[in-house]
Each structure stands twice: as structure tokens, then as C-alpha cells.
Amino acid sequence: MSPQRRPRDWGNLAEGPAGLIAERLLAADVADYVRFRAVCGPWRRCCASPRGGGGPVDGRFLPRRWIMIDKASPAAAAARRHRFLNVATGECIHTDLPELAEHDLLMVTPEGLLLLFRKDAPHGVRLLNPLTRHLTELPPFATVLTPEQRNDPHQGLRGEDFRVRGVAIADSSSTSTSTSTVVAYLKSPTTLAVAKPGDERCTKIDFDHRLMLYSTVPFAGRIYHATAIGIMTPETTTSSDQPPRMLTAVDTTIDPPFSFCSMSDSLHLVDNGGRELILVYRTVSHDEFRREYAVYRMDLDSRLLIPARSLSGRAVFIGLSRSVSISPSTFPSVTGDTVYLGFDCGERTKISGYHVGDGSIEHSQLIKHASWFKPSTLVDCLSWCIKSNGKQLG
């Protein structure tokens, strides 16, 4: 008769093995890491806390794979309960965000953070990690205004009056000692503001304000903006004799891949699963007055836009200020190598997507002018949340 096995005391798991498990979970997904720490006190003590008060953005804990969809249900709106979708695995979770009762939601960053404006403090701006509940204090956007702008009653000083069009984080690495820089593209007045957590003021990056920055996307440690004259990237490393400045990553004026019209066209940068940076050019055929699309792959080494006939098998969703890339192997209801449109694209009621390989159009199944519309499919849901920002989501 074999000796009876003693039950394992997982709560007293040694710090080394528990720490190794936590490290591997964090490498896969921050949500799994948070669940691991929630099991018991000994496990929490063996791994770093992802939550702190007002400290810097820790790149290890960014919810990069998670996207906020909507409120979990109308009845739960008062509790600020929202649904989040993991675009890599398809997992869906519900999370309570009581912070939204005390803040206005300005925007969702590509890294999954929520940009909040404090209602109880003059012009205060914060970043909230919805999975760890970590809050990062940022200097007020009003600090980039000149004295003349601050005294102009038409400018406004409340955070939401700045009309944030894009925000992302540069230099966010996998180490806790890295210094992350937040870059925000503001409208009214048009400004590119840069700040690190703990700064007293935002720093303004000078650029041609006649240029509209159509996308704000982080990729490989840098932030990229699509403009009518090329792909720009801010240099956020500063010194006393070298303030932040805008650099050109791809100059499209030398050998223009397309003829851009600011009245009708738009540009959309997409991080395609961390593998490549994609540019979608959305235009109007002036002879037939219908929408047309072109896709380019950004070659960072040669600094060129290369026409693309595929999206590496993935599907991308584009809105006027946001984008997301997903895999059909995780979400079988989407078609690979397809660009799906957000609901802030005017043609979305007629066109659902554009197939990159053959240039064909996928027509929308929506009922036109349906005021009672509620997303019922994955495509409609992602198209809707890519459109939404600020109070539309909060």
C-alpha cells in the first residue's frame, strides 16, 4: 500500500517558485498577474504591486491587449461597470471603475489606459489603468497655453475643452525603472503636449499647426502620427539646448504614393499585431464620388510606404482617431486581410469593410437611420467602440 500523499500547501509556496509563476503570467497578460496576486497574501508579497498612487506609468503592467467596449448593462451604469475585450485571446471581463464617477473620460489610449479629467481639481489630468486601478498624475494641459490663450475666454481651460484627438505613451518598456513619456495631440488650440508623470508643466512640441495629425499610434517604443506630408514622430528626449521636436519618419512629398485632399481624405495608422505599422489611406473617387481605400506597409529602415495586398492575414478596424488589429483565428467571425470601418466614418452605414487582396467591398447590413441601433455582432461592436471616445464610452 502506497503512503498517503500530503496535500500541497499552495499558500506557503516558496517565494522563488511563486515569483517565477507571477513573472511568467505577467509576460503573458497583466490580467492573469492581477488574478494571481488576488489569491492570497503570501502570493501578493512575493511579487510587485501593479497599483500605486500617482506614480509613473510602469510599462510592465500596461493592458495593451485589452479594449474597453461599453457599459456592462444600462442598470450597471451607476456603478461604472464596463466590459473589456482581450483582442489577443477573445476573453471578455467586467470591471468596476468607480473612478469614472469623479472624472470625465477624455480618451482611451492605444495601450489600454483611460485619460481622465478630474472634476474636483482645477484642470487635473490623470491616466487610469482599468485592470490594476493604478492612477498616474499628469500636469494640466492648460500649462501649454500662452498667457494670451489662457486669458482668451474662447479657448476654455477645462480638460474636455481641449478636444483630445490622440494620446499615447513613448519609451514604455518592460522594466519598472523606465521613464515613460505621455504625448497628447490637442485641438482648440492645436497643440502637441509632452509630459512625464511628476512634471509640473507640459512641454509643447513645435510643428506646423496647419498640419492635421490623423493618427497617434505607439510602435516599437516611439509614437507616430500620420499627416498629409508624411509620417511624423516626436523626439521626446529633452535637454537644456534641445527641446522636444517633430521628426520625419517617412516623407511622402519626395515620391508621393497618393494625392491627398484634406477636405475629403483621411489617414489611419494601425499597429498590426506588433509586427508592422500599417497606413490606410481613405479617399473619394472624384469621377464616381464613392469611397476608395489603399493600404501601405511602413518600412522604417528605408523610410518608405510600400503598397500592401495583405494585412498578414489579420483584420484591422479604423476610426477617425483610433484603430485595432485582431486575428481571425481568435475571432472567426471576421475576415482576414480586411479593413473594417468605425462608425465615425460616414460611409459605415453602407460599407462595412474593404478586402485588401482583391479590392472588393463588404456591404453593411445595418438598417439606415435606425435610431435604436445597438451593436449585435463583433464587427459592429468593434466598429462602434473604435468610434467612441470620452462621454460616449464613460
What is the tens place of the pLDDT at every residue in 34-64? 888 888 777 778 788 887 655 678 888 999 9
Does residue 57 sit in the same domain as residue 148?
Answer: yes
Does residue 320 sit in the same domain as residue 368?
Answer: yes
d(CA 348, CA 384): 10
3 located within any domain: no
Q: Tally Cβ neighbours within 10 Å of residue 141.
A: 24
- Percent of the chain having pLDDT more than 90? 39
CB 178 within 8 A of CB 169: no
Residue 177: is it exposed, middle or buried by C-beta count within 10 angstroms (0-12/13-18/19+)?
exposed
| pLDDT single digits (tens) 178-218 | 568 899 998 767 889 998 888 888 888 888 877 888 989 99
pLDDT at 73 exceeding the cut of 80: no
Nearest residue to 388 (alpha-carbon basis) of 82, 40, 26, 30: 82
Residues 6+ apart with CB under 8 A from 133: 51, 99
d(CA 168, CA 223): 7
Residue 73, C-alpha cell as written in the block: 448593462
Mean pLDDT of 56-78: 75
Mean pLDDT of 240-247: 79
- pLDDT for position 267: 95
pLDDT at 88 exceeding the cut of 90: yes
| pLDDT single digits (tens) 140-152 | 888 887 777 666 6
Does residue 98 sit in the same domain as residue 132?
Answer: yes
pLDDT at 76 exceeding the cut of 50: no
d(CA 326, CA 313): 9
Does residue 365 sit in the same domain as residue 222?
Answer: yes
Does residue 138 sit in the same domain as residue 30?
Answer: no
Does residue 358 sit in the same domain as residue 243?
Answer: yes
More confident residue, 306 or 8: 306
d(CA 206, CA 190): 10
CA 236, 239, 242, 246: dihedral to nearest 10 degrees?
0
pLDDT at 265 exceeding the cut of 90: yes
Does residue 132 sit in the same domain as residue 276?
Answer: no
2 located within any domain: no
> Residue 68 belongs to what domain range?
51-205
**The residue to which cell 460616414 is assigned:** 346
- pLDDT for position 159: 46
256 located within any domain: yes
Does residue 55 sit in the same domain as residue 28?
Answer: no
Terminal-residue alpha carbon distance, the chain: 63
CA distances from 218 to 171, 173, 327 (A): 9, 12, 19
pTM of the model: 0.87
> Last residue of a domain, which of 139, 173, 205?
205
d(CA 96, CA 91): 17
Nearest residue to 323 (alpha-carbon basis) of 27, 61, 87: 87
7 located within any domain: no
Residue 158, C-alpha cell as written in the block: 477645462
Does residue 70 sit in the same domain as residue 122?
Answer: yes
Does residue 162 sit in the same domain as residue 71?
Answer: yes
5 located within any domain: no
> Last residue of a domain, which of 205, 232, 263?
205
Does residue 257 sit in the same domain as residue 110?
Answer: no
Nearest residue to 308 (alpha-carbon basis) of 300, 317, 299: 299
278 located within any domain: yes
4 located within any domain: no
Nearest residue to 339 (alpha-carbon basis) of 331, 357, 321, 349: 357
Number of domains in the chain: 3
- pLDDT for position 187: 79
Does residue 42 sit in the same domain as residue 55?
Answer: no
Q: Which helix (H) or strand (E) holds 149?
A: helix 147-150
259 located within any domain: yes
- pLDDT for position 69: 85
> Last residue of a domain, which of 154, 176, 205?
205
